[in-house]
Chains A and B, each alone.
Chain A
Amino acid sequence: MLLRDIERVFDPWREFERIERELRRMEKEMDRLLAEVGFGVREEYPPVNLWTNEEGAIVTVELPGVEPEDVDITVVGRRLTLKGTRKPLASDGVRFHLRERWDGDFTRSIELPFRVEPAKVEAKYRNGILYITLPRAEEEKPKKITVQTS
């Protein structure tokens, strides 16, 4: 093999991370096999982070190497769904020495803590991260109640 890992010095953290990754990869492979025989796909790729304030939410998604036009974003009620494809590398006439990056179709659905205004949802893509800004539905915004003094 041309290129190989040289992090041979035993580092328990690294080792732990490696095992974790390996487990995720196996899980993914298992899901793929299950999907092939019609058992459905587990929703775990791509990973998402959720941020909120009183005005709304920001969902960030790790999508390196995915063309923004290959991602469908839909919002129904509180549910945000992402669908898309990460194209595999052209494999004609090449030999893989290492293959760790995921590819293929993905579907990811997450429940937001509040309803949002679907018409005002915005998305931008930068450096392989998708940022989705979801303004909170007007009727669900926290309201400040003025206490009247008599």
Chain B
Amino acid sequence: MARELAKRTAEPVRERAIRPDVDIIETDTEYHLYADLPGVSEDNLDVTLEKEVLTIKGKAEEEIPAGYNQRWAEYVTGWYERRLRITEEVDREGIKATLKNGVLKVVLPKAEAAKAKKIQIAHE
């Protein structure tokens, strides 16, 4: 038991992930998701869609030269993580993600079946 406990506490404590702020908008043909990920570069970002769960994971880095001491902190840089469930039909092959100025944008095209269709009214 004691050994078990020691083994467990020796494992590195997993860093608590930061939950990024997210906006989601819907247009006629697409859904756009925006996530604020300041400090995250493309190399440190993973966006995955597994079944109906979209997962965003990113590691933020700050480039502070050696020899500086932190005097004041209002935010922390670390891991970002957010998982969102997609409950509507989207065109999975058409999903595109871009990262610019620390903001991730994911475009999810609506599946044909989910697009609103204008019904023609036939003249009699």
Contacts and interface: CB of A to CB of B under 8 A. Distances in A.
A95 B25 contact: yes
Of the listed residues B53, B68, B101, the one surrounded by the most CB atoms of chain A closer than 10 A to its CB is B101
B21 interface: yes
Interface string A109-139: 0100100000000000111110100000000
A4 B36 contact: no
Given A53-B67, A60-B64, A129-B38, A2 B31 contact: yes
Contacts of A91: 25
Contacts of B72: 48-50, 110
B63 interface: yes
A64 B36 contact: yes
Contact of B75 (A47, A58, A93): A47
A3 B27 contact: no
Interface string B47-91: 000000110000011111101111111110000000111111000
Contact of B41 (A6, A64, A127): A127
B83 A128 contact: no
A74 B40 CA distance: 27
Interface of A: 1-7, 13-14, 17-18, 21, 47-53, 57-58, 60, 62-67, 89, 91, 93-102, 110, 113, 125-129, 131
